């Protein structure tokens, strides 16, 4: 018999994520959009923390990048523990759709509303940082923001797609692991290592880029609008592939696919 302190087992996690997908799909529109805007801002705060850690540091130094990833983890911690709707994590809703617990229109409604809300929150936070003066040319934080945005825009579509897929596999694994935890500390620890790893490896997260690229442009990065949109597009497609296909469908097959409901 499980105790109240044991981690939930993978089969239990799969059932909980399926139920969570149903609840997410049926949120009222206003609540869904509000929580999505918050998530965009939360991920942006994680991005800002990452930029500050990397300011004045060697961007190729592994331990520094790991520290930056730990700072960036703030974003998903706020989303999961605080409660918010994040597009990349909601790739796991595919599990409920395949199980026919929600319809494809319900899935599309959630993804489209949450994606738009995440964009609003991320852009709003970027504008707020511009108002603080942290993006002025003489401020070191601004130089870091501009450098990061330029590097992201310079990736090829194949690189964006592959980095996006690998990134969201780790993000969805982080969300999956949070469902195993019975307390807040366990959820935070479950988030910390997968998210730190994707940042350490230089992978690409569409919602983070909705903040990092605009804030870099506001800081003076020479990034064309088309290049910025192209990055978000290809990284988003990769995120869907890695999260919905690489994690949600694989775990659905492993733990729910052979059971008679």
Domains and CATH numbers, the chain: 10-255 (1.20.1080.10)
Closest to 49 measured CA to CA, from 195, 188, 158: 195
Instruction: Count Cβ atoms within 10 A of the Cβ of residue 130 and give its class: 0-12 exposed, 13-18 middle, 19 or more buried.
Output: middle
Return the pLDDT at 2: 57
Q: Count CB atoms within 10 A of the CB of residue 154.
A: 11
Tokens in use for 30? 């206003």
Tell me what percent of the residues of the chain surpass a pLDDT of 70: 97
Crossing angle of helices 157-178/225-240, nearest 10°?
50
Mind listing the pLDDT tens digit for each residue in 229-241?
Answer: 999 999 999 999 9
Tokens 């993006």 label which residue? 135
For residues 99-114, average pLDDT = 96
Q: Which residue has the higher pLDDT, 261 or 41?
A: 41
Q: Look up the pTM and report it.
A: 0.94
Q: What's the alpha-carbon Rg for the chain, to the nearest Å?
A: 18
For residues 68-79, average pLDDT = 97
- For 256, half-sphere exposure in the C-beta direction (CA atoms, 13 angstrom radius) is 22
* 106/41 Cα distance (integer angstroms): 24
* 230/27 Cα distance (integer angstroms): 30
User: Are the C-beta atoms of residues 43 and 118 closer than 8 Å to each other?
Assistant: yes
* 108/138 Cα distance (integer angstroms): 44
Mind listing the pLDDT tens digit for each residue in 7-53?
Answer: 889 999 999 999 999 999 999 999 999 999 999 999 999 999 999 99
pLDDT(260) > 50:
no
**Positive or negative: CA dihedral 60, 194, 147, 56:** negative
Instruction: Count Cβ atoms within 10 A of the Cβ of residue 185 and give its class: 0-12 exposed, 13-18 middle, 19 or more buried.
Output: exposed
At 9, give phi and psi (nearest 5°): -80, 155
* 124/130 Cα distance (integer angstroms): 10
Return the pLDDT at 261: 44
């Amino acid at each position: 018999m499980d105790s109240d302190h044991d981690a939930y087992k993978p089969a239990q996690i799969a059932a909980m994520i399926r139920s969570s997908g149903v609840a997410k799909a049926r949120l009222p529109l206003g609540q869904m959009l509000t929580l999505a805007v918050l998530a965009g801002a939360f991920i942006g705060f994680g991005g800002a923390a990452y930029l500050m850690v990397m300011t004045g540091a060697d961007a190729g130094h592994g331990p520094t990048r790991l520290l930056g990833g730990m700072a960036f983890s703030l974003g998903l911690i706020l989303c999961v523990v605080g409660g918010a709707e994040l597009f990349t994590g909601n790739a796991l809703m595919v599990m409920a759709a395949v199980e026919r617990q929600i319809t494809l229109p319900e899935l599309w409604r959630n993804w489209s509303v949450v994606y738009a809300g995440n964009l609003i929150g991320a852009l709003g936070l970027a504008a707020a940082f511009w108002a603080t003066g942290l993006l002025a040319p003489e401020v070191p934080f601004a130089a870091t923001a501009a450098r990061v945005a330029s590097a992201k825009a310079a990736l090829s579509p194949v690189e964006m797609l592959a980095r996006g897929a690998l990134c969201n596999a780790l993000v969805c694994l982080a969300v999956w692991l949070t469902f195993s935890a019975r307390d807040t500390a366990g959820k935070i620890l479950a988030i910390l290592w997968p998210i730190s790893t994707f940042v350490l490896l230089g992978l690409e997260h569409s919602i983070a880029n909705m903040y990092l690229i605009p804030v870099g442009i506001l800081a003076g990065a020479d990034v064309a609008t088309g290049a910025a949109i192209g990055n978000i597009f290809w990284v988003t497609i990769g995120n869907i592939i890695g999260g919905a296909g690489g994690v949600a469908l694989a775990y659905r097959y492993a733990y729910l696919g052979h059971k008679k409901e």
